[in-house]
Amino acid sequence: MSDRAVLHVKGRVLVGPEDVRDELWVVGGRVTYRRPAGTGPDTLTVQGWALPGLVDAHCHVGLDAHGPVPPEEAEKQALTERDAGALLLRDAGSPSDTRWIDDREDLPKIIRAGRHIARTRRYIRNYAHEIEPDDLVASVAREARRGDGWVKLVGDWIDRDAGDLTACWPRGAVEAAIAEAHRLGARVTAHCFAEDSLRDLVEAGIDCVEHATGLTEDTVPLFAERGVAIVPTLVNIATFPQLADGGEKKFPRWSAHMRRLHARRYDTVRAAYDAGVPVYAGTDAGGSLAHGLIADEVTELTKAGIPAVEALSAAVWSARAWLGRPGLVEGAPADLVVYGEDPRGDVRVLGAPEAVVVNGRVVG
């Protein structure tokens, strides 16, 4: 498809969950609902159920289980996400410089959180800036300037002396760091598996918590009151039993804790949703988890009891609004995915895109 070609999308265009239109056009890589005058033999037509490009709100391009990867591997990761229909990625921490992806018209758009910020020897090797609390404010300021409006903290991790998950940061350090990020115009999110760190982080003003498996009946109302979002990454939480088995001999308390968090994962997410906590879809792809799993994550949200349309919105309309990126509105970049059936009726349809369009070009 040439730069001057016109794309015609016919069928049912899901501008919103209830805003359904019969067609849209793409001219110069942008969405329009006005039939262009210049249609002709170069016009390409795709037909089906069209959605804005899916959002993976917790993804790591440029990272694998061992740390940063070379650009050619990062490209493969981005292409895998694209081919799965995930065209907007919130990269929740990466040690790699992936800014070159912004110059590629055929790859997903990325919102970066800079590099993870972790306590010394309290996270996966080669992933994070590992620091002590006195350096937290300065580190957050640096990553706020490097990122695209987000900063990522590691809120808890295994403490080898305690033999279990414990909070990584004292309350005062977190309060000062989040205030500095907000001063610089960045939002803050944190990796949290366990219960202990959540209240301090939320009362300190955090904007989002990743995983959030440690939510309880005491902290769910606090999240709802403060409007703190969660990204449950249920396809990643599914690996907890395997992780627990691997750590059983050395850290039995940690292993038992991980199994408990896994066992109540669906109840935790449903309780948060029922209380009005904003829930968004993210996979945690790029560490030890494969890319291209956003359809599986949306299905997992429905297994947790979130209604299908709301689970779909968590990866489409509400996710884009939360991240400040447009959907299929007049003049927006034409990033869309076309399916053979209505995904509002069965979210598993997301696993089989029939066409993927990035910046107005059919790429898959």
Angle value at C-alpha 91, between 343 and 328, nearest 5 degrees: 40
Angstrom distances, CA of residue 296 to CA of 34, 47, 68, 186, 289 = 35, 24, 25, 29, 12
pLDDT at 224 over 70: yes
Q: Where are the beta strands (DSSP E) in 171-282?
A: 187-192, 208-211, 229-231
pTM across the whole model: 0.97
Contact 230, 272 (CB under 8 A): yes
CB 351 within 8 A of CB 343: no
Question: Domain extents for the chain?
Answer: 6-51+326-363, 54-323
Q: Is 93 exposed, middle or buried (0-12, 13-18, 19+ CB in 10 A)?
A: buried
Q: What is the mean pLDDT of residues 237-253?
A: 97
Any idea which fold 54-323 has?
TIM Barrel (3.20.20)
Which tens digits make up the pLDDT trace of 142-156?
999 999 999 999 999
What CATH topology corresponds to 6-51+326-363?
Urease, subunit C; domain 1 (2.30.40)
Is 138:100 a contact under the CB 8 Å cutoff? no
Q: What's the DSSP call for residue 279?
A: B
pLDDT at 282 > cutoff 80:
yes
Other C-beta atoms lying within 10 Å of the C-beta of residue 279: 24
**Running DSSP on this structure, what letter comes out for residue 213?**
T
pLDDT at residue 51 greater than cutoff 60: yes
Question: Confidence class of residue 38 from pLDDT cuts 50, 70 and 90?
Answer: confident
Q: Which residue has the tokens 């809120």?
A: 155
Spatial distance between the Cα atoms of 128 and 153, rounded to a whole number of angstroms: 9
**How far is Cα 102 from Cα 28, in angstroms, rounded to an integer?**
18
pLDDT at 42: 73
For residue range 330-355, list pLDDT tens digits in order. 999 999 999 999 999 999 999 999 99
Distance (Å, whole) CA 339 – CA 343: 8
Q: What is the pLDDT of residue 1?
A: 44
- The answer to whether 6-51+326-363 and 54-323 have equal CATH topology is no
Mean pLDDT computed over every residue of the chain: 96
Cβ contacts of residue 327 below 8 Å, gap of 6+? 15, 16, 52, 316, 317, 320
